[in-house]
Amino acid sequence: MMSGMTLLQANPRPWLGACSVAESIGDSMGRTLLAIVAVDVVGAGAGLVGVLNSAGMVAFLLLGVPLGLWVDRVGRPAGFMTVGTLVRAALALSALLAWWAGVLHSAVGVVLLVGVALGVGVADVAFTTGQGVLIPALVPQVDVRRLYGLVQTWTRTGSVIGTLCLPLALAVVAPPAVWLLVGMAYLASVLIQRGIKVPESAAETRSDGLRPSLWHRMRSGTGHLLREPTLRRITAANMLVNAAVMCANTLVPVIALTVLDLEPSVYALVGIGGALAGIAGAALSHRLGECLGLRAARLLAALAMAVGAALVMCCGVVVDWLPGNAAVWLTINSALAGFFTSLAVVLGADLVPALTPSRKLGVVLGAQRTLVLGSMPVAALLTGALSGLVGTANTTWLWLLLLVASVLPILRLNR
C-alpha cells in the first residue's frame, strides 16, 4: 500500500497545480503593485509606468532562446523553476526593505523599481522555460495538452485570486507593505515545488557528443521552429493573436474611460468578467480540442474574438448600432476574449514537445516564446502611434484586422 504522500509524489499534477496558483497570485499582485508604488510613492508618470510594464517583455525577447538552450544543456528544468521563484521572492522582500528604509521616496527609488522589474522579468523567463520543458516530461505525450490546460486553468485561477486580494490588502496597509504578501506567495510556491517528483530523464544533464557551439544550437533550434510547417503556422497565428490582445489592452481602457465615459469601478467589473471567463476557457480547452480538432477550435477562437472586437466598435465607438449600455457590450467582449484567449494558449501548446527532439526542446520553446511575445511590444507601439495619427476609434480597425489575419495560418494547419 502506498502512503498518501507517496501517492501525491507519484501524481505530480496536484503539486504543479498548487505551484501554478501560488506563482500566479504573486505575479498578478506583484506586477500591479509595482505600478501602484511607482505612481503613489515615487510619483512616477506614464513614462516610467510604461518602462516598468515593458521590462519583463524585454527579458523574454533577449533571454528566451539562451535560457532555453541552457535548460537543454544542463537539464533539471525544475531547478530553473525554483531559482526563478526564489529570485522573485528575494526581489519582493528587497523592495519591502527599501520602503522601510525610506529609499523609495528618492531618485534611488526609481532605479530600484526598474531593477526589480528587470529582475522579475529575467526570473520569469527562467521559471516559464523550466516549466515548459518539465511538463512534457511529467506525463505521456497524449496527456501533454490536458496538463497544459490544467496549468493554464490554475494560473488563471491564481490571477483572479490575486486580483481580488490586492484591493483588500491595500485597504489595510500601505502599498509597499503588500510586497510581504507577494514574497510569501513565491516562498509558498518554492515549498510546493519540492513535492514535484521529476523523472530521471528530465533531471539528467544532456549531452550531444561534440557539444556544438552556443550560436549553432540557437540557430538550429530557431531553424527547426521556422522549418517545421505546423510549428511555423501555429507560431504565426499566436503572434497575430497576441498582437491583437496587446492592441486591445492599449485601446479598450481609453475607449471605456474616455470615448464611452464609463466609471472606473464599472470598467473594473468588466475586467473581472474576462478573468472568470478565462478560467472557464482554460478548463474546457482540452475537451473542445478533442471534440472539434485543433484547426476548427482555433478558427472558432479567432472568429469569436473578432466578433468581440466588432461589438466594441459598434457600441458607440466607430458606429452606434447596438442598443443598451455600452458596458454590457464591453463585458461580452471581455468574456469572449478571456475565454478564447485561454483556449488559444492551450490548443497547440503540445505541438512543440510532439514535433521537436527532446535535446532541442528548451531552445525551440524559447524561440517560439520570443517570437510570440515579441509581437506584443511591437503591436503596442504601432497601436499608440496609429492612435495619435487617426484617433482611438479608427485604430480599432487594426485590432479587428489582426484577429482576422490570425485565421490565415490556422486554415493551413493539417490537424
pLDDT in tens, 42-71: 775 545 655 676 676 777 778 777 887 788
C-alpha cell at 357: 527532439
Check pLDDT > 50 for residue 175: yes
Give the least confident one: 15-29, 205-219, 299-313, 389-403: 205-219
Please provide the average confidence, as pLDDT, over all residues in the chain.
83
* pLDDT attached to residue 45: 55
261 or 167, greater pLDDT: 261
CA dist 308 and 276 (Å) reads 16
Q: Is the pLDDT of residue 8 over 70?
A: no
Q: Is a pLDDT exceeding 80 seen at residue 266?
A: no
The DSSP annotation for 164-188 comes to: HHHHHHHTTS-GGGGHHHHHHHHHH
Q: Which of 249-258, 326-335, 367-376 has the highest mean pLDDT?
A: 326-335
- Give the pLDDT confidence score for residue 214 in this predicted structure: 56
Torsion over CA: 227, 230, 235, 237 (sign): positive
What confidence score (pLDDT) does residue 349 get?
A: 82
How far apart are alpha carbons 329 and 396 in whole angstroms? Answer: 15
Spatial contact of 369 and 234, defined as CB atoms under 8 Å apart: no
**CB burial class (10 A; 0-12, 13-18, 19+) of residue 24?**
buried
Instruction: State pLDDT tens for residues 179-208.
Output: 899 999 999 999 999 888 766 554 454 444
Residue 115, Cβ density class (10 Å: 0-12 exposed, 13-18 middle, ≥19 buried): middle
| Count of Cβ atoms closer than 10 Å to residue 171 Cβ | 7
| pLDDT given at position 215 | 62
pTM of the model: 0.76
pLDDT, residue 85, reads 94
